[in-house]
Structure 1
């Protein structure tokens, strides 16, 4: 095998990709990626807590506060 990654490292990478894809399919973003983005590009802003981030994504997914008429149920 010519790969420098061990089988376990490759498995963990695949597992992360599958989990990230599943989160995106259900409208749930990656908190760590969000927090890193805020720290890197908006250093003057405090990132949302993980709970705030989850609620924000859920609200966006189901149109909470949306005045354009979208509503899940």
Structure 2
């Protein structure tokens, strides 16, 4: 009876966590890996470090034109 409720709460928590990470600019590597395996199975998956650097460069422009 309560297993469905706990699954809903768990899923809501995951979505809330993902939304908060996106709001502050933290990339979600697990979502990226799932997407790549599902949608692009023939492409290589970046390591976490590569993924983080790529997302950071995309967000901040790779330091081009920045003073800091």
Q: Please say whether Structure 1 and Structure 2 have the same fold, judged by a TM-score greater than 0.5.
A: yes
Aligned length: 68
Alpha carbon RMSD of aligned pairs, Å? Answer: 2.6
* CA deviation vs aligned residue, 1:14-36 (integer Å, no higher than 9, x gap): 21111100111122332122112
The residue number in structure 1 matching 2:58 is 60
Unaligned runs of 5+ in 2: none
Tell me how far 1:54 sits from its aligned partner.
1.3
Instruction: Map residues 1-73 of structure 1 onto 2, 5 A cutoff.
Output: 5-6=4-5, 8-64=6-62, 69=65, 71=66, 73=68
Please list every run of 5 or more consecutive structure 1 residues that lacks an aligned counterpart in the other structure: none
Larger radius of gyration: 1
Could you list the per-position Cα deviations for residues 33-67 of structure 1 after superposition, in whole angstroms to 9, with x for gaps in the alignment?
Answer: 2112212222221100112111111111111165x
- Per the normalisation by structure 2, the TM-score is 0.71
Higher helix share: 2
- Give the distance between the partners of 1:13 and 1:65, measured in 2 at CA: 36
